[in-house]
Amino acid sequence: MATNGSPRARALSAALRDARNVRGISLRELAKKLSLDQSHLSKIETGKRVPSVETTAMILAVLGTGPSERERILDLAKNASEPNWLTVGMPGIPQQLAGAVESEREASAIVYWSPMIMPGLLQTADYVRTIAIADGQPKHDVESRVMVRLARREVLTRREPAKFDVLVGEVALRQPIGTPDMMIEQLRYLIKASVEYPNVNLRVVPTRVGWHPGTAGSFALYEFPDSPPFVHFEHYSSGAFVTNSDDIEAYRKAVAAIGQYAYSPADSTNFIAQVIVEEYQENDIRDQMAQEHV
C-alpha cells in the first residue's frame, strides 16, 4: 500500500529502519531472508510504502525484535493509515516523538511556535540536560535524550536544510532553566542560529500584546515536498498530529496572527542580547553586537 504520508506511517518506517540497524543487518540481507524484493523493502523503510501488519510482523520476527519493541511497532502498523493521531498518557508519547523526529527529517519547511521554552531544535545540550533531570528522567536516559536532541539539529545544517520559521515567546527567553551561565549560552546560541543559518528565521514575540491564537500553546507545522502538511502539538502527557485541511488552514492563519506581534529577525537578535544584559548582566554580548552594527 502506498503511503499517505501520515505521521504514524512515517514513525513506522523509521521504527523498522532502526530495528534493522540495531540488529546490524543490511537491507539486502534482510530482503533475502524475507524473500522480498530489496526495492520493496527499501520503499517501506523510506516511507514510500506502508507495510501490512502481517509483513511488519514477519520483518520483526526475522530481526528477532524483543516483545515490548515488537508490540510498539505492530501498534504503529495497525493504525499506520489513520491521518490524525491523538495520544493521551505518557506511554504513547515516545511513539509520537518518533513521528515528530521523522517528520523533521523529511520536512521541507517547519514553522514552530514556542511560547514558554526554547524551541527544541535550538536547545543547547545543557538546556536539554537540565530539563531531563528536572523531569525525573533516569540518569542513564538523560545523556541519550541530549544526544538525540542535538542530532535533530542536522535538519537545519545539512546540505539541503529545512526552512525553519520559529516564533519564540519572550517568556521563554527570561524563564531561567539551569544556571545563569547555561542560560547565557542558550540565548547566545539563539543569536548564532539566527545570524549564521540562512534557513532559520527567528522572531521574538513580546509579552503584554493581548490575546492571540498562540496563547493556546505551542505547535509545529510541517510542510513536505511530496505529501500533505500536518500540525503537531504536544503537552506534558498528551499530544496530537492533525492533518485535516481546514485545521491546517486555521493554524496557518494562527501563524500569521502571531507573526503580527513578532519583532523582525534583526530586532529579535537585538532583543535577545538585551535580555542577556538585563537578566544576567552580561555586557560582552551587547558590546559585540554594537560593533557588528557599526
pLDDT for residue 77 is more than 60: yes
What pLDDT, on the 0 to 100 scale, is given for residue 91?
Answer: 42
What pLDDT, on the 0 to 100 scale, is given for residue 94?
Answer: 55
pLDDT for residue 89 is more than 50: no
pTM of the model: 0.72
What pLDDT, on the 0 to 100 scale, is given for residue 88?
Answer: 40
Average pLDDT on 69-89 reads: 70
Percentage of the residues of the chain whose pLDDT score is greater than 90: 46
Cβ proximity of 168 and 114 under 8 Å = yes
What pLDDT, on the 0 to 100 scale, is given for residue 255?
Answer: 96
Q: Which residue has the higher pLDDT, 117 or 68?
A: 117
pLDDT tier, 237 (very low <50, low <70, confident <90, very high otherwise): low
Express each pLDDT in 119-158 by its tens digit: 999 999 999 999 989 988 888 788 888 888 888 888 999 8
Mean pLDDT, the chain, whole residue set = 85
What pLDDT, on the 0 to 100 scale, is given for residue 90?
Answer: 40
